[in-house]
Amino acid sequence: METVTRNVRDLDPATRSTLERVIGHELRDSQQIVVQVGEPAKLPDWCNVYEGMTDEQIDEVDHEIRRLHTTRDVH
């Protein structure tokens, strides 16, 4: 993860204005902007269960899952 820190008083007016619009309010000269850049969380492999399947195949699997769910014996 990368962290970038900037003093508000050192920002050029255009950058400061852009950041104020992103944040939603004016910034004070005494403040700092801290931005962290990172990779998105990796999902577990099972999340790719439909990878390589056509839309029709996915629909068939989904239909079977719903059918089994509604017809299973609940005790």
- Give 4's strand partners: 35
pLDDT at residue number 73:
65
The torsion of the CA quartet 25, 28, 32, 33, rounded to 10 degrees, works out to 20
pLDDT at residue number 25:
96
pLDDT at residue number 13:
97
Q: Is the pTM of this model over 0.85?
A: no
pLDDT at residue number 21:
96
CA 33 – CA 28 distance, rounded (Å):
10
pLDDT at residue number 12:
97
Tokens 């017809």, located at residue = 71
Q: Say whether pLDDT at 30 is over 90.
A: yes
Q: Say whether pLDDT at 74 is over 80.
A: no
The torsion of the CA quartet 25, 16, 33, 1, rounded to 10 degrees, works out to 120
Tell me the backbone φ, ψ of residue 72, rounded to 5 degrees: -70, 155
